[in-house]
Amino acid sequence: MFRTLATLLIPEGAPSVQAEAVFAFHPEQLSRWLDEMWAEGGISTWVPIFTDPLDPLGDVKAITSTQIPDQMIELFQSGISGTAPGYVPPAVGTHKQVFLWDHLFYAYLIESTGALEIFAEVVRRYVVGETLPAASAATMAWVRATEELFFRDPPMFRVGGLTSQLRPDARVNRRNAYWRMFGLDLPHAAPGVSGQPWKQDAGAAHNVRFIEIWNELLRQVWLGIENERNSSGANPTDSTYVALLCKTLGEMLRMRRIGGMLSRDEFSFVSVLSWFHLTVGSDNTVIRDLSAKSGSGGNAADRLAVVGARVGVAPSRQARELFELAEVISPLLWAIELRMFDSAPQAELLYRSTGIPNPAPAQTMNRIIDLWQSATGDRVKDLAVTTRRQWNQLAGSAQPAKLLPTATLSSAPVPAPSANGQRTAVSRR
């Protein structure tokens, strides 16, 4: 959501200027803006695209029964508007176009890069000592907002208020949602957490077959892409089977949303991870103060690697693919949940790029397949590989074998980092 806010504030601005505009606002305003976005309804209000009474958040009351009443929102608005910090209601993005937040899988992929744990250590270093380069006032405002918004209990009754005496650890809460929705663990350990408490009482209904079905969908779509231009010989592409896979995935995901379950969690977790994605998305003040600029040809993964080296926490070696995957997979999974590819003619759009008005879905799927194979090591393009892994029965963990491996950086200017998301000992010179 914060990446959306950045483009709303300065639609034509440079990415670094957009990010700095967001970071300049008071955390109380940012927190209230999230409540305003939740109350707007997101995808649940996009009625024209639905052909049946399906609600994408599991229940029509998922928003209305949990939002702050409209009158209270109007009484004290966030006032986030314009390029300068201040209070200028109404806020951007309210009472106009309704914006879609990312799918929960976006949060999973961004957290898998190690970005959250790296910047958690950055914030800790800034607030307890002086082991990092001197920070500007703008960076210290970012530090304050990051700590207030994501590393302390949020104000009562806010949409992001998911920690309590019953579930006190935000890291465990996010992992619980990933496990229930996708049957996946993060590829790095949760700092300070023993065992896997996010799986306790999760029940037997978690989507343990998500990755199996997802990989099969990618394999069948690639088969369609390869055979689309066949003018002679057999064409093994089966659009009906592709549609069945999409339908199966959609049913699995919708089952976890019955009654609005996980919808507020999804909104909150996506918002948290979008803040850190926004931070590494450009050479903004925070990145410049950490001497992690990557230049015009750089990317989020390059910046994250340098920041991680400064605090002794290594990101995933697949961070570059994960950042891009998070952006392109999110709309696809929403479309699958909304039954947009449940019929054979619709499913053909996932691999057909010729003879149709809009080849964008097939082009996007081709890119997803490339990135997924590179990030996970799963040979979805190798149609001779038909062995299905027991994703949920690997030694000591339900984590897929290569989704996503921990890594170390080849070199680091400050300390030598270790496993993704794990703190290392830093030598004192």
If residue 339 lies in a helix (H) or strand (E), which one and from where to where?
A: none
Alpha carbon of 16 to those of 111, 206, 280, 383: distances in Å? 22, 39, 10, 42
If residue 17 lies in a helix (H) or strand (E), which one and from where to where?
A: helix 15-23
Residue 314 backbone dihedrals phi, psi, to 5 degrees: -90, 135
- 167: which residues sit within 8 A by CB, 6+ positions away? 173, 176
Cβ atoms 250, 337 nearer than 8 A: yes
Per the structure block, which two tokens stand in for 324? Answer: 């891009």
**Dist. CA 158–CA 38, nearest whole Å:** 10
pLDDT at 396: 33
Cβ atoms 265, 170 nearer than 8 A: no
**Dist. CA 207–CA 252, nearest whole Å:** 6
pLDDT tens digit at each of 429 positions of the chain: 889 888 888 888 888 998 999 999 998 889 888 888 877 776 665 554 544 545 666 566 666 656 666 666 666 776 777 666 766 666 766 555 567 788 999 999 999 999 999 999 999 999 999 999 999 999 999 999 999 999 987 777 777 778 888 888 889 999 999 999 999 999 998 888 888 988 888 887 788 899 999 999 999 999 998 888 666 666 778 899 999 999 999 999 998 888 888 888 898 899 999 999 999 999 999 999 999 998 777 899 999 999 999 999 999 999 999 999 999 999 999 889 888 899 999 999 999 888 788 889 999 999 999 999 999 988 888 776 654 444 433 333 333 333 443 433 333 344 444 455 555 444 443
Per the structure block, which two tokens stand in for 125? Answer: 């270093």
CA-wise closest residue to 386 among 184, 212, 183:
212
Cβ atoms 245, 224 nearer than 8 A: no
Distance of CA 11 to the CA centre of its chain: 22
CA-wise closest residue to 23 among 162, 192, 147, 198:
147
Cβ atoms 375, 318 nearer than 8 A: yes
DSSP of 63-110: HHTTSPPHHHHHHT-----SSSSS--SSPTTSSSSPPPPPPHHHHHHH
* Predicted TM-score (pTM) above 0.75: yes
**Dist. CA 198–CA 201, nearest whole Å:** 8
What is the CB neighbour count within 10 angstroms for residue 138?
A: 16
Per the structure block, which two tokens stand in for 183? Answer: 């049957």
Cβ atoms 248, 213 nearer than 8 A: yes
**Dist. CA 185–CA 182, nearest whole Å:** 9
**Dist. CA 110–CA 274, nearest whole Å:** 8
pLDDT at 245: 96
pLDDT at 292: 93
